[in-house]
């Protein structure tokens, strides 16, 4: 039974990917478009959601910059993608702290690209689609270790949420 669940769970994310930094729109998206864009990229990740009211809250708390003429741009969308994923295991205060540390060490593009590569790396490993974790990035730092451990926690939570959803679906049939 566990093998079948594992195979079904792996199938859910087999073709999953987050957009690269360059693929994120930078012409500006309205709030509803931003929610839709992020949701389209995270819909396969069980338990990862974002809403307009969440984004408004993140703006009020200072996690992301205010929209410019009601538009959200690449850096804001990249941060929102990270927040949507990280909030499943971290408090908003800890996310803010992690983002503050990142801003002192890495430019936004570098940080986001690392996050995407590492997230895919860990997610595919946790879901059994690869046998080992790849080394991602060129140097080791406390910041990268913290981010990797956040990603590991998120990947395990997504995996378990998907397993439980499959079991619930079987039990309800």
- With bands split at pLDDT 50, 70 and 90, how would you rate the model's confidence at 43? very high
Indicate if the pLDDT at residue 44 is higher than 60.
yes
Partners of 71 in the β-ladder: 68
Indicate if the pLDDT at residue 3 is higher than 60.
no
pLDDT at site 127: 92
The 3-state secondary structure of 8-64 reads HHHHHHCCCCCCCCCCCCCCCECHHHHHHHHHHHHCCCCCCCCCHHHHHHHHHCCCC
pLDDT digits (tens, 9 = 90+) for 5-36: 667 777 888 889 999 999 999 999 999 999 99
Domain map of the chain by residue range? 2-172
pTM of this structure: 0.91
pLDDT at site 142: 82
- With bands split at pLDDT 50, 70 and 90, how would you rate the model's confidence at 4? low
Give the C-alpha separation, 156 to 83, whole Å.
17
pLDDT digits (tens, 9 = 90+) for 117-152: 999 999 999 999 999 988 887 777 888 888 999 999
Number of H helices, E strands in the chain: 7, 0
pLDDT digits (tens, 9 = 90+) for 45-55: 988 999 999 99
pLDDT digits (tens, 9 = 90+) for 63-115: 999 999 999 999 999 999 999 999 999 999 999 999 999 888 889 999 999 99
Give the C-alpha separation, 121 to 106, whole Å.
20
pLDDT at site 2: 43
């Amino acid at each position: 039974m566990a093998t079948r669940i594992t195979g079904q769970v792996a199938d859910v994310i087999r073709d999953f990917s987050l957009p690269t930094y360059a693929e994120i729109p930078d012409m500006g998206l309205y709030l509803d478009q931003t929610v839709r864009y992020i949701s389209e990229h995270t819909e396969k990740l069980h338990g990862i959601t974002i809403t307009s009211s969440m984004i408004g809250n993140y703006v009020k708390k200072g996690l992301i910059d205010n929209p410019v003429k009601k538009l959200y741009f690449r850096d804001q969308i990249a941060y929102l993608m990270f927040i949507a994923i990280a909030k499943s295991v971290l408090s908003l205060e800890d996310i803010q702290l992690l983002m503050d540390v990142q801003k002192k060490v890495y430019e936004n593009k570098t940080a986001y690209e690392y996050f995407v590569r590492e997230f895919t790396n860990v997610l595919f490993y946790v879901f059994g689609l690869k046998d080992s974790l790849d080394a991602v990035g060129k140097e080791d730092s406390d910041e990268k270790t913290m981010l990797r451990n956040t990603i590991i926690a998120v990947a395990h939570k997504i995996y378990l949420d998907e397993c439980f959803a499959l079991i619930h679906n079987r039990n309800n049939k």
